[in-house]
């Protein structure tokens, strides 16, 4: 089985998430236009999943990519995820083919197991290996995995003779949810696994947090931009805020240029204290 090649190279450390897109026919044209606008602004990293809108989010993204041009596909980094119910060897293959068809692209840059389910890891890894050999994915990884899950996953990779395996763990991570800092982030760094932060604005409430807004105003930025800049303060973390609002898409994009100073980081630690114990992971 061929293994993916090392560290991921994202076109930017900020991308666009599509969770909750594709759920409504009435919103479809607005969502497609929003993704198209993100492409115009400069976004090249996009995250989706077969779960989102029962494939609807992938269709929204795929429709927006039509005008971008197939010849420009190498500029993009597209991530999708397989549901645990489809994570058998044959199920992974069928699910990935369906995602690629909805997206209208020849391959996925990164394909993730959405969360741990009843299937054995060997089955899923064999499916990922088949996809790699067929050129349908470039890398694979996991989502919503804790340390115990990752240890078992690595054991399964070794048992199958994989020299390099899961390149990324996608996790709920924001100023209000720092539980992964307690143990998980350190483990991933020690094992060369990158982190992709979803819901980096919480459920949107960080964009309106009074204390965060005061700090952001002193810097001349928005609360959302400060929260996003904080989420990518470390080089091995990328973030994928979701928005279907063109103005917010532009605002979020500006956060990638914002570098926070040590004093600002200390103030944010006071507002949102780092964890002192392990906290459960969310699943999105």
Contacts of residue 65, defined as CB under 8 A and 6 or more positions apart, other chains included, come to 35, 39, 76, 103, 104, 105
Given 43, 52, 111, 173, the catalytic residue:
52
Cα separation of 149 and 232, whole Å? 24
Alpha-carbon torsion (62, 68, 71, 74), positive or negative: negative
- For this structure, is 43 an active site residue? no
Query: Rounded to 5 degrees, what angle do the CA atoms 107, 240, 270 make?
Result: 155
Q: Which residues are catalytic?
A: 52
């Amino acid at each position: 089985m061929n293994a993916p090649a090392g560290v991921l190279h994202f076109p930017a450390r900020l991308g666009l998430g599509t969770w909750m897109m594709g759920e409504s026919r009435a919103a479809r044209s607005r969502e497609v236009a929003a993704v198209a606008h993100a492409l115009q602004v400069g976004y090249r990293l996009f995250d989706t999943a077969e779960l989102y809108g029962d494939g609807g989010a992938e269709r929204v993204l795929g429709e927006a990519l039509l005008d971008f041009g197939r010849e420009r596909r190498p500029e993009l980094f597209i991530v999708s995820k397989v549901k645990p119910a489809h994570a058998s060897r044959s199920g992974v293959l069928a699910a990935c083919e369906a995602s690629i068809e909805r997206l209208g692209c020849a391959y996925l840059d990164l394909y993730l197991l959405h969360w741990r389910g009843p299937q054995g890891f060997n089955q899923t890894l064999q499916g990922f290996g088949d996809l790699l050999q067929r050129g349908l994915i470039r890398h694979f990884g996991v989502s919503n995995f804790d340390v115990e899950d990752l240890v078992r996953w690595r054991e399964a990779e070794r048992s199958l003779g994989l020299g390099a395996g899961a390149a990324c763990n996608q996790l709920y991570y924001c100023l209000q949810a720092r539980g992964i800092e307690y143990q998980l982030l350190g483990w991933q760094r020690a094992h060369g696994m990158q982190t992709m932060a979803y819901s980096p604005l919480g459920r949107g409430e960080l964009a309106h947090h009074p204390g965060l807004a005061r700090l952001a105003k002193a810097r001349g930025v928005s609360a959302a931009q400060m929260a996003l800049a904080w989420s990518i303060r470390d080089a091995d973390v990328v973030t994928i805020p979701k928005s279907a609002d063109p103005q917010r898409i532009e605002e979020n994009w500006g956060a990638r240029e914002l570098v926070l100073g040590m004093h600002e980081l200390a103030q944010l630690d006071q507002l949102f204290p780092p964890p002192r114990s392990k906290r459960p992971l969310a699943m999105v």
